[in-house]
Structure 1
């Protein structure tokens, strides 16, 4: 398998990976951490897709996609923290004034898991942020140790995934997901890493 990670500019490919299964759904498309809660709750059905279609046409794109040949098989949501709900979070701290980027969602389609896709997506998200001038990239994964995490909750990532990609724990948070604490992980890009 040859994996290539590219900016998420093709809406149909984004929809194939993170689009809802039902066209009238009011979830997914990776919007819950990108837009205010009221706006997220109000967007349902085709309106969610149209919102993401517009994001795919913007610069920067709303994230990155992993491809196996021409097939989109994975997604990582990545954007400046200032353009996400993490910027206003009272549970996930700001540790300094750097204009960091955030990776908040990593998803690999069934049938393509356990093939190194997660690492490729994280590295692709970091490269994308670096290309757009990010001095550092943050993630807010669960710190689950060896405990199993429900796949529907693993979208925020696991601490060990980010450690394997060169991130280090920068702070604790007061956020939890599926009973696990979330930690703030950071990778500094100013040193060339």
Structure 2
């Protein structure tokens, strides 16, 4: 499945065709600190060694494989966000995380990064992005989507590197429910998905 639409948002898999749009969303730094969305896919040593161009090359290789490592989200043909997703097994660092350990054996679509283009942050677009991503995940056959957002303390704002997994309130607005809370600021949230007709 390559593209799905939710309202005014369209979702397309990351591939050679959408690579320049992915770059436009992540910017010259590749998201936060040269990550290029390899944080959950590599050990900390591998991630640090590849920081910047190395991580970018690694993601470029993943973008040429099936399944796609994530989706670019568009609003009226303009790329506005990136979402890294797939089975938990695609994210070795997530699988090893004592904080975000697997809570059961349900085959979820893990949403590990939701990166909104800088000029669109704070616009209230995140719940709609998550809705579009869930439609994509349902069309790909996943029974549930699972997110690992941050819940900033009252009056505090999360920075780009801590907010990469999303904000808990946006997940709630997109129909997710909390299924675990391993730390005060880190809920694990899920949403049941309906199969595409």
TM-score with structure 2 setting the length: 0.81
Residue 85 (structure 2) pairs with residue 78 (structure 1): yes
The RMSD of aligned alpha carbons is 2.5
Residue 21 (structure 2) pairs with residue 5 (structure 1): no
Task: Give, in whole Å, the separation in 1 of the partners of 2:27 and 2:86.
Answer: 19
Q: Hey, what does 2:171 align to over in structure 1?
A: 162
Residue 68 (structure 2) pairs with residue 61 (structure 1): yes
Tell me by how many angstroms 1:148 deviates: 2.4
Query: What per-residue deviation string (whole Å, max 9, x for no partner) do you get for residues 110-153 of structure 1?
Result: 33234443123212222222222222111111223643223322
Task: Give, in whole Å, the separation in 1 of the partners of 2:99 and 2:176.
Answer: 20
TM-score with structure 1 setting the length: 0.83
Alignment length (residue pairs): 185
Q: Hey, what does 1:136 align to over in structure 2?
A: 144
Greater mean alpha carbon deviation, residues 181-190 or residues 165-174: 181-190
Q: Hey, what does 2:107 align to over in structure 1?
A: 99
Tell me by how many angstroms 1:162 deviates: 0.5
Task: Give, in whole Å, the separation in 1 of the partners of 2:126 and 2:176.
Answer: 14
Q: Any stretches of 5+ residues in structure 2 without a counterpart?
A: 1-6
Task: Give, in whole Å, the separation in 2 of the partners of 1:33 and 1:114.
Answer: 25
SS at match of 2:132: helix
Contact 1:65 1:121 in 2 (8 A): no
Q: Any stretches of 5+ residues in structure 1 without a counterpart?
A: 175-179
Q: 1:156 to 1:147 in 2, by over 3 A?
A: farther
Residue 36 (structure 2) pairs with residue 29 (structure 1): yes
Contact 1:76 1:104 in 2 (8 A): yes
Q: Hey, what does 1:177 align to over in structure 2?
A: none
Q: Hey, what does 1:17 align to over in structure 2?
A: 25
